[in-house]
Chain A
Amino acid sequence: MDAPDKPAGPLIRFENVGLRYGAGAEVLRDISFDLRAGDMVFLTGPSGAGKSSLLKLMYLALRPSRGLVRLFGQDVSTLPRPALAELRRRIGVVFQDFRLLDHLSTFENVALPLLVRGEQLKNYRQDVLELLEWVGLGGRIHARPSVLSGGEQQRAAIARAIVSRPEVLLADEPTGNVDPALARRLMRLFMELNRMGATVVIATHDPEIIRATPGATVMHLNRGFLQFHASEDGLPLQEAPE
Chain B
Amino acid sequence: MTPPPNTEDALPSAAHMRRNLLPRMHAPMRTFMVAVLTMVWLAALAAGALLLLRQAIGVWTEGVVAEATAQVLPLDGERAEQTLARARRVADALAGQPGVRETRVLSPAEGRALLEPWLGDSGLALNLPMPVLIAVRLDPRGPARIEDLRRVLKERRFANVMLDSHGRWVRELSDLASTSLLLGAGVLVLLLLALVVLVTHAARSALEANRGVIEVLHLIGAQDRFIARQVELHFLRGAFLAASAGIGLAWLTFALLAFLAPAVGIRESIREVFFGFGEQTLQAYLIWLLIIVITTLVSLTAARISATRILASMFHENG
Contacts and interface: CB of A to CB of B under 8 A. Distances in A.
A93 B11 CA distance: 25
B220 A62 contact: no
Nearest to A160: B220
B220 A88 contact: yes
Given A60-B315, A63-B316, A116-B226, A125 B220 contact: no
Contacts, number: 100
B82 interface: no
Given A99-B216, A142-B3, A121 B13 contact: yes
Given A103-B24, A113-B221, 20 more contacts: A61-B319, A81-B223, A85-B218, A85-B223, A88-B218, A101-B23, A101-B213, A103-B23, A103-B26, A104-B17, A107-B11, A108-B20, A112-B217, A116-B217, A116-B220, A116-B221, A117-B222, A125-B8, A142-B6, A142-B10
A22 B318 CA distance: 5
A142 B316 contact: no
A232 interface: no
Q: What band does the interface of chain A fall in when counting residues whose beta carbon is under 8 Å from B?
A: 35 or more
B128 interface: no
A115 B216 contact: no
Interface in B297-319: 314-319
A121 B215 CA distance: 23
15 contacts: A20-B318, A61-B314, A62-B315, A62-B319, A85-B221, A89-B220, A99-B212, A101-B23, A103-B26, A112-B216, A118-B226, A121-B13, A129-B8, A138-B6, A141-B11
Contacts of B223: 81-82, 85, 116
B10 A115 contact: no
B219 A88 contact: yes
A140 B6 CA distance: 6
A142 B12 CA distance: 10
Nearest to A166: B221
B217 A139 contact: no
A111 interface: yes
A56 B317 CA distance: 11
A139 B17 contact: no
Contacts of A140: 6
A60 B17 CA distance: 26
Contact of A59 (B10, B23, B219, B222): B219
Nearest to A107: B11
| Best-buried of A86, A101, A103, A116 by chain B (most CB within 10 Å) | A116
B14 interface: yes
Contact of A62 (B3, B212, B317): B317
